[in-house]
Structure 1
Amino acid sequence: MSRIHCSRCLRPEGHCLCPLIPSLDSHTRVLLLQHPSEVSHALNTARLAALGLRNAELRVGEVFDDLPSLLNQPGYQARLLFPGDEAQPLAAYAGRANDLPLLLVVPDGTWRKARKLLHVNPALAALPRVTLAEASPSRYRLRKAPGPGALSTLEAVVQALEVLEAPASFEALLRPFDALIEGQIAAMGQETYERNHLR
């Protein structure tokens, strides 16, 4: 018999994260474009970001036919949070009181899937890029990062917002993320965790 899942956070009912998910305001609008392969992922951090931010939207797909209208939202300037030779550090946009706030477009998937989203959506690839100049280390202790500065989607969004909207804190968005990881460590047992993840 399949377990009943919460319709909001998609977690099994006994492990619902909704009580931990905040409801935060931001000047920055966050558009999360999630590759379909991420939807059933145990962590699904893009969903946590979308649920925790009032000014955020999550879209799932590979080819987004309505991308022009998604990117051209009145009152915002769209930027793609993704590394690249021309990517500007997000700090360059911090504290610019006279500028339009950012529509921060965040692809969600493995690096390979995220690159595919850019490849099959040329309007996405054409956006000016921004990047986190100095990302804090990931708190995702159950996955070997593909390289330094690699973050989960939720962590990248939190760090980006904290750069753009300092001194506001978005740390509360990480509460359900931390609880998920603690729950997974508890389920596998401390010994298994230490043997497989602390080497």
Structure 2
Amino acid sequence: MSRIHCPRCLRPEAHCLCPLIPSLDSRTRVLVLQHPSEVNHALNTARLAALGLTNAELIVGEVFADLPALLNQPGYQARLLFPGEDAQTLQGYGADDQPLLLVVPDGTWRKARKLLHLNPLLATLPRVTLAQGGVSRYRLRKAPGPGALSTVEAIAQALQVLEAPICFEPLLKPFEALIEGQIAAMGEEVFLRNHGPN
């Protein structure tokens, strides 16, 4: 018999994260394009980010037929949050700056690159990236490189930079609870053996 899941956060009902999910306003609009392989991932951080922001949308797929309309949001400049040689480091908004539509591909690095390949319009967007030195709180996996963050961490950090001094830290509360729950389920000894310092 399968466990009952919360229809909102998709977690098992006994581990529902909804009480921890904030409802934060942002000047920036966030559009998360999620690869289908991420939907049933135990740590679906993109969903947590989309649920925690009032000005965010999460769309699942590989090819997005309505991408031109999604990117052409009146009053917003579309930018792709993805590293690259020509990516500009995000800066805070100036007084007269038009807000950004921050497009965030969600998946493994390979799957995220595949989304860009299958949706050439994404590759034409100006790219933005986070400043170097971000440290992930995602203690259950080895980061593929320095500064590699989960989707919710990247979104929270991007909004923190763009909209300072507004605090987007509450966006990470359900993520941290999820990590703690996973560690508790595996037991401290197993966690330290597999994920502790070498």
Opposite residue 89 of structure 1, the aligned amino acid is T
Contact 2:87–2:126 (Cα < 8 Å) also in 1: yes
Opposite residue 119 of structure 2, the aligned amino acid is N
Give the TM-score taking structure 2 as reference length: 0.98
Any residues of structure 2 matched to 1:120-199 within 5 Å, and which? 120-198=118-196, 199=198
Where does residue 58 of structure 2 map in the other structure? 58
Opposite residue 120 of structure 2, the aligned amino acid is P
1:135–1:155 Cα change, 3 Å = farther
Residue 95 of structure 1: how far off its partner (Å): 2.7
Give the TM-score taking structure 1 as reference length: 0.98
Any residues of structure 2 matched to 1:96-107 within 5 Å, and which? 96-107=94-105
Where does residue 14 of structure 1 map in the other structure? 14
Contact 1:22–1:53 (Cα < 8 Å) also in 2: yes
Contact 1:135–1:159 (Cα < 8 Å) also in 2: no
- Alignment RMSD: 0.6
Q: Per the alignment, in what secondary structure is the counterpart of residue 25 of structure 1?
A: coil
CA–CA separation in structure 2 for the residues paired with 1:71 and 1:146 = 29
Any residues of structure 2 matched to 1:4-43 within 5 Å, and which? 4-43=4-43
Deviations for 1:6-28, whole angstroms, at most 9, x for unmatched residues? 00000000000000000000000
CA–CA separation in structure 2 for the residues paired with 1:142 and 1:70 = 33
Q: Per the alignment, in what secondary structure is the counterpart of residue 183 of structure 1?
A: helix
Contact 2:134–2:148 (Cα < 8 Å) also in 1: no
State the number of aligned residues.
197
- 4+ residue runs of structure 1 moved beyond 4 angstroms? none
Match of 1:114 among 109, 112, 115: 112
- Between the two proteins, what is the percent identity of the paired residues? 80
Deviations for 1:27-47, whole angstroms, at most 9, x for unmatched residues? 000000000000000010000
Contact 1:9–1:48 (Cα < 8 Å) also in 2: yes
CA–CA separation in structure 1 for the residues paired with 2:131 and 2:34 = 23
Deviations for 1:138-182, whole angstroms, at most 9, x for unmatched residues? 000000000000000000000000000000110001000000000
Deviations for 1:83-131, whole angstroms, at most 9, x for unmatched residues? 011100101xx13221210000000000000000000000011100000
Where does residue 45 of structure 2 map in the other structure? 45
